[in-house]
Each structure stands twice: as C-alpha cells, then as structure tokens.
Amino acid sequence: MAFSRASIREAALAAEQSEPDTVQIHERSLPKADEGFPAVRSLYLMVPTLMKGSTMDALHPNHSTNEFPATSRRPPVAAKYLDGQSPTERSKEKRLRVLDWVYRWGWSSADIINTVSGQATKGYAAKMVRSGLLRETQTPSVHLKRFFTLTADGLAEIERHVAKLLPYPEIRPLKVRQELIRHQLFAQRLTIEHMKFGLVEKFFTERMYPELADKA
C-alpha cells in the first residue's frame, strides 16, 4: 500500500473535519494518480491526528495495539547460567579447587592452576596471590620460572574443608625440592590430562599415603 503526499494531506483534512474514530482509509479510495509513489515511512509523524481513535486500524487493519503488551524488565539471574550456582558459590568452588590441588601436590605452576580453576583467561594464580592465599616463588630451574605454594591463610582455609589433614612443609617455599620439579610438573600435567578426558575421577599424591610411597 503506497501513500503520496497529496493523499496524506487529504486524509489529514478529513481527520480535522470528522470524528477521529470515523476516518476510514482504504487502498481502493486512493486516486490512480497516486499509484507508484513510494510509501511514506514517517506517516505517523507527519499526520499525528491519524493516530486517534480507530484510524490506526484503518491504516493497518492487521495491526493490534496489544500485540506487544508492556512488561517489566527483570535483571538476569546469574544462577541460571552457572548450573544453579550463584557467582559467590562459583567463585568459592574455584578457589577451593585450586587450594586443594596445591595442598595435595605441595606446589603448582601458573598454567596448571589456571586449568584447575576452569577459568578461560590467564591470571588466576596471580589473583590468588593478591588475595593472600598463594605465594609466588622464583626458581632457578630450567623447567619452570616460578611456582606457587599455600600461604598460612590459604592453608587454614583448605584445612577447614578437607576430611584428612596432610603434612604441608611447603609453607616454607625453600622446602620445595628443586631436583624434583621436572618430575612433579610432569605428574601434575599428566593427571590433569587424564581428568580432562575422563580417564580418572580421583587421584592421590604421595603425601596422602606416605606408607605406600615408602614401600615403593
């Protein structure tokens, strides 16, 4: 349906001379001279009087003013996108997962900590250092530039959530055995890869069963 400027003026004049709800505009009432003109997209702005009464229905018979009822906008619920967890609960789960990992192994690297946390971007180990739960230590090893151990606060937090307390001499980073860094780094990465592919569900480190480690 195309409207020309002349037909719009005629409709506006009719609206002024009639009751708003009696104005009816149909395609067959347009003069043939108006055919071929492009539709005027700003019709409602140019002829505001046609918005009154049932004139809107005359212009657009298929239009319903209740087609899009007004609704109140509600903020999204984060738990719907976090498997039912709140952001606080998810953050705590990630933190405890990392603390438990470092607690079992004694120390870990930045890339492994990031993988254990499940965070897509890098920097989770540094974040935990800033929060006072991990300590960063430089190492002369050619296999690793720095490693991360638990601080006193980090150790206290994880010990509140484990069923069995473990010895943790790495509270003093100098206790990390430099000659075993390559071996333990390989063991941690191998464990993570097996867990990612679902090959293992649980793992145990030597400090968890020292009696078995001594026999081995």
Q: Residue 176: how many CB atoms within 10 A of its CB? A: 18
User: Does the pLDDT value for residue 57 go beyond 60?
Assistant: no
Rounded Cα distance between 209 and 135, Å, is 25
User: Does the pLDDT value for residue 44 go beyond 60?
Assistant: no
pLDDT higher for 163 or 53? 163
Q: What is the pLDDT of residue 32?
A: 53
Local structure of residue 108 (DSSP, 8 states): B
Span of 49-58, 84-93, 152-161, 201-210 with lowest mean pLDDT: 49-58
Q: What is the pLDDT of residue 154?
A: 98
pTM recorded for the entire structure: 0.61
Q: Name the pLDDT band for 210 (thresholds 50, 70, 90).
A: confident
Rounded Cα distance between 197 and 179, Å, is 30
Over the stretch 147-166, which tens digit does the pLDDT of each residue have?
A: 999 999 999 999 999 999 99
User: Does the pLDDT value for residue 48 go beyond 60?
Assistant: no
Counts of helices then strands in the chain (DSSP H, E): 9, 2
Cβ-based neighbours of 90, under 8 Å, separated by 6 or more: 82
User: Does the pLDDT value for residue 191 go beyond 50?
Assistant: yes
Local structure of residue 37 (DSSP, 8 states): P
Share of the chain above pLDDT 90, in %: 46
Rounded Cα distance between 210 and 187, Å, is 17
User: Does the pLDDT value for residue 5 go beyond 70?
Assistant: no
pLDDT higher for 88 or 213? 88
Q: What is the pLDDT of residue 120?
A: 83
Q: What is the pLDDT of residue 159?
A: 97
Please compute the mean of the pLDDT values over residues 7-15 and round it to a whole number. Answer: 60
Q: What is the pLDDT of residue 86?
A: 86
Please name the helix (run of DSSP H) or strand (run of DSSP E) that holds residue 137, with its range, or none.
Answer: strand 134-138
Q: What is the pLDDT of residue 81?
A: 47
Please compute the mean of the pLDDT values over residues 2-27 and round it to a whole number. Answer: 54
Over the stretch 110-147, which tens digit does the pLDDT of each residue have?
A: 999 999 999 888 999 999 999 999 999 999 888 899 99
Q: What is the mean pLDDT of the chain?
A: 76
Q: Name the pLDDT band for 61 (thresholds 50, 70, 90).
A: low
